[in-house]
Structure 1
Amino acid sequence: MGIIKVENIRVFAYHGCLKEETTIGSDYRVDLEVKANLKASAQTDNLKDTVDYVLLNRIVKEEMLQPSKLLETVAKRILKRILKEDQLVTKATVSVSKLNPPIGGDVEMVTIKMTERRKK
């Protein structure tokens, strides 16, 4: 087994419960970690034998563009797509952070973190 991380994916999106959040938008950070068997790719040196992090990045960006009230909803969509589109992934963890959230204080970011495992 091995782990592939795609960290600090920066996206501008329109998530939130406040009307201003879905109108004005804000900056987000997404961190992704997937677990997969990397033994074959380590031997073959072939992209088809591993998890393509270009695909992971594309999934994150596409799902972040779809507005939602809650970050949990976005994270769940990201995880479901990763497990659906890449059969090598056995476990995925995603953190979605809203930078400078409008919560009435000096807060750098709020983050939700979710994990999904492939069902056997």
Structure 2
Amino acid sequence: MSFQKIHTIALNGLELFANHGYYPEEQLIGGKFRITVKVDTDFSKATETDELSQTLNYEALFSIVKTEMKIPSKLLEHVGQRIVDSIASLSVKIQRIELLLEKLNPPFTAKIESSSISIVYTKPNHAL
């Protein structure tokens, strides 16, 4: 029996304060956001060598998310796409990127835990 290796590096439930929102008040006041990002890559060498240089450093993922979240945007779609594009440029070994970006307690007249967008990018030759 043969198995396909799928290696995933993830940041789960990262919470940041940012100034995103369609309405000027949202951009002025800001709010809390939760981000989960999962990246499929090949870290076979790192499993053998125990060397950070042979894998995708999750601190680099954190740095990208933090940097892009600091740039105010009207739409979560815009922020999410910037995050995915920046992550995709980290390594040619990246096969798949999955992003969930949630706005916690969005400004509605009802209690809503979050609103969200998700983006999934898969290289065309990558089998899921």
TM over 0.5: yes
RMSD: 1.3
Distance 1:119 1:78, change over 3 A: farther
Identity %: 32
Name the count of aligned residue pairs. 120
Q: Which residue does 1:4 correspond to in 2?
A: 9
1:30 to 32, 35, 39: 35
Are residue 19 (structure 1) and residue 19 (structure 2) matched? Answer: no
Ranges in structure 1 where 5+ consecutive residues have no aligned partner: none
C-alpha deviation, 1:39, in angstroms: 1.1
CA deviations over 1:16-64 (Å, ceiling 9, x no partner): 1111100000000000100011211101111011010000001001001
Cα separation, 1, equivalents of 2:87 and 2:122: 11
Are residue 106 (structure 1) and residue 123 (structure 2) matched? Answer: no
Are residue 95 (structure 1) and residue 100 (structure 2) matched? Answer: yes
C-alpha deviation, 1:2, in angstroms: 0.7
Q: TM-score, normalised by structure 2?
A: 0.88
Q: TM-score, normalised by structure 1?
A: 0.94
Q: Which residue does 2:66 correspond to in 1?
A: 61
- After TM superposition, what 4+ stretches of structure 1 lie above 6 angstroms from structure 2? none
Ranges in structure 2 where 5+ consecutive residues have no aligned partner: 1-5
